[in-house]
Amino acid sequence: MTVVDRRATPRARSSFAPELGALLTAASDARRPHPLVTVTHSTAAVDPISLYQYGADGKVEPTWSYVFKQFWRDDGPFTVARKIRAKRPREARQALFEFWAIVAVYGVLLVLNWRFILLMAPFYYLGHCFSFLIAWYEHAGADPDQPIATGVSTYEPVYNWAFLNNGYHAEHHHRPKVHWTQMRALRDETWDAQRAAGVRTLSVAHFLGFLDRRAPKVATAKGAAPH
């Protein structure tokens, strides 16, 4: 989950992309296309990070199965670059450049101190699991048939302050070009329409969604999601 100012030019984004990639250990240009497809929670497995891809009977995959298994299902960097190249060849080249920059950085670290890489590996995996936990609660229970309700929002103030209004996820899906600083105004503007559409909301941060006792349970492929 990365917050990027959409007002930045492609040149400006590219200038710090390798450094960002090294911090995330994932090429930022390779990660960018995925949010464009999370809007369609299709039961057809067309979205590589869809909650429905490994669900059944029109239901989403159970929470912890998605959280701990999704890391191993990700496409490799060359597959992702190939998909990007069809429409955005410059970004495909940038993604591969970032990938090799990351390989070089961590290759040097491996030579200098292999114990550091060994120690970092489980935290790298768990960091991705944390991201997938957020993704599950950002989308589980959303209505893919209504554009205004394809995401799940939380208005918990501390979370939104710390994560730059990431809690306004239904609003972001509805109008993805609106800047993060304008999310609250967008919510106020569309509040009546959201209520009419039954937009799902949580009373806690997305990553604490399993602690929310007020939100209705989400039916999963193997029963009800833990709540």
Q: How far apart are alpha carbons 92 and 12 in whole angstroms?
A: 17
- Could you report the per-residue pLDDT of 42-74, keeping only the tens digit for each? 444 445 668 888 888 888 999 999 999 999 987
pLDDT of residue 3 exceeding 50, the answer is: no
Residues β-bridged to residue 219: 224
Q: pTM value?
A: 0.76
In angstroms, the CA 18 to CA 65 distance is: 31
35 burial (CB, 10 Å; 0-12 / 13-18 / 19+) is middle
216, 141 in Cβ contact below 8 A?
yes
Residue 57 is predicted with a pLDDT of 85
